[in-house]
Amino acid sequence: MQRIDLLVTEYKRFLKARGQSQYTLKNVKHAMKKFTCFLTDTGIERIEDINREVIEDYQQALCYNICKSGHPLAIRTQAQLVCVVKGFTKFLKERHCFVVDPGKDVLLPKKPKRLPRIILTRKEVQAIILTPNIFTNSGYRDRVILELLYDTAIRRAELSAIRIEHMDPEGGYIHIHGKGNKQRVVPVSKRVCELTNNYIKMVRSQFIKRSDNGFLILNRFGNRMYPNGIWAVVKRHARQAGIDKNVSTHTFRHTCATHMMKNGAPVRHIQELLGHESLESTQIYTRVTINDLKAVHMKYHPGNHFRLKN
């Protein structure tokens, strides 16, 4: 009989060896702890006793879980937790612990496709970007962070992971290592390339303390700036710019995609820029522009002002 806890540890080592991010590993650790607690509570001790029915029972139990806010777990959170379990059972099937993968045919709860809650105007983006004092090292670095987020629509974790060798300032590209270690190339405008180049040549070295770790964005200790640090930079400068919205790093991502869509960029190009596997994920931005079109239609179409009598 193989111990479940040892197999979970082996699974986490496997994911780490595959180059999964610390953020992903942390989420997997949390999800597997939740699943193993469920197994213990239901009296399941052997890996052989995990079948499709057990996983579906776990999925149903998640529907009744209450989070710290006192509300049920969001559908998206439930899907993420079950997805980790499905990855675990697939791993065990490949290790010949199962003849048939018990999680293979378990359907994930459908995640609602919601419109981005907050989209910045061009003036608001400009106000935030111009907030850092570029005559200081930290201010110049923060300006680069904000410019890259809006120019490329990359995620904060992707920006945090950029190394100097990933930059191609002459060609105007950055090689991005995205979710699940998937790689893509995103374009960078000439202006932002020049700004970033100046940062690399004249500012970045001021942050290095002992040895150079090769990451593009460094914190005041000379270490790689992690995603939460980048998030804090955005929050701080949005607040200083007087923007009365809950601005985050993802706000820049949504805003970039929406502004490009409004300017006529093809949805498939937006998909490639954002690194979405499915076009369905990208088409959410077309709904934003359709809402704008509807407002314009209501305001300017003459038919909306007809007063017809029967």
What pLDDT score was predicted for residue 301? Answer: 45
Three-state SS string across 244-303, please? CCCCCHHHHHHHHHHHHHHCCCCHHHHHHHHCCCCHHHHCHHHHHHHHHHHHHHHHHCHH
Structural domain includes residue 225: yes
Q: Are 214 and 163 in contact (CB under 8 A)?
A: yes
| 111-125, 155-169, 279-293: which is most confident | 155-169
pLDDT band at 70 (very low <50, low <70, confident <90, very high): confident
Are residues 170 and 62 part of one domain?
no
> Which tokens is 111 given?
């995640």
**pLDDT over 80 (residue 93):** yes
Between the alpha carbon of residue 37 and those of residues 13, 64, 79, 101, the distances in Å are 20, 15, 18, 21
Q: Is 231 a domain residue?
A: yes
Q: Are residues 153 and 284 in the same domain?
A: yes
Is residue 250 domain-shared with residue 290, that is, in the same domain?
yes
The helix (H) or strand (E) run that includes residue 124 is: helix 122-129
CATH of the domain at 88: 1.10.150
pLDDT in tens, 13-32: 999 998 888 888 999 999 99
Q: Decide if pLDDT at 296 tops 70.
A: no
Just list the catalytic residues: 155, 179, 250, 253, 276, 285
* 33 and 131 share one domain: no
Mean pLDDT of the chain: 86
Helix (H, G, I), strand (E, B), or coil: what is residue 213?
coil
Q: Mind listing the pLDDT tens digit for each residue in 186-208?
A: 889 999 999 999 999 999 999 99
Give me the domain span that covers residue 60.
Answer: 4-94
Task: Tell me: do 252 and 131 sit in the same domain.
Answer: yes
132 lies in the same domain as 249: yes
Give the CATH number of the domain where residue 142 resides.
1.10.443.10
The per-residue pLDDT for range 213-249, each reduced to its tens digit, is 999 999 999 999 999 999 999 999 999 999 999 999 9
Contact indicator for 207, 135 with CB cutoff of 8 Å: no
Most confident of 20-24, 112-116, 207-211: 207-211
Number of domains in the chain: 2
Categorize the per-residue pLDDT at 302 as very low, low, confident or very high, splitting at 50, 70 and 90. Answer: low
pLDDT of the residue at 23 = 85
**C-alpha distances in Å from residue 249, one per residue of 39, 97, 108, 140, 155:** 37, 41, 27, 18, 7
- Residue 138 shares a structural domain with residue 285: yes
Q: Which amino acid, residue 107?
A: L
Q: In this structure, what are the phi and psi dihedrals at residue 155, rounded to the nearest 5 degrees?
A: -80, 160
272 and 183 within one domain: yes
DSSP 43-88: T--BGGG--HHHHHHHHHHHHT-B-TTSSBPPHHHHHHHHHHHHHH
Q: In the prediction, which pLDDT does 178 show?
A: 77
Residues 62 and 184 in one domain: no
Please report whether residue 99 resides in a domain.
no
For residue 138, give the nearest of 72, 46, 69, 237 by alpha carbon.
237
Residue finishing a domain among 54, 79, 94:
94
* Average pLDDT of the residues in 281-298: 58
d(CA 130, CA 136): 13
Does 88 share its domain with 156?
no
Within 8 A by CB and 6+ apart from 247, the residues are 118, 120, 128, 234, 235, 238
301 within domain boundaries? no
Counting residues of the chain whose pLDDT is more than 90, the rounded percentage is: 50
The rounded distance, in Å, linking the Cα atoms of 200 and 193 is: 10
Residue 147 and residue 12 share a domain: no
Q: Residue 286: inside a domain, yes or no?
A: yes
Query: What is this structure's pTM?
Result: 0.62
User: 149 with 249, same domain?
Assistant: yes
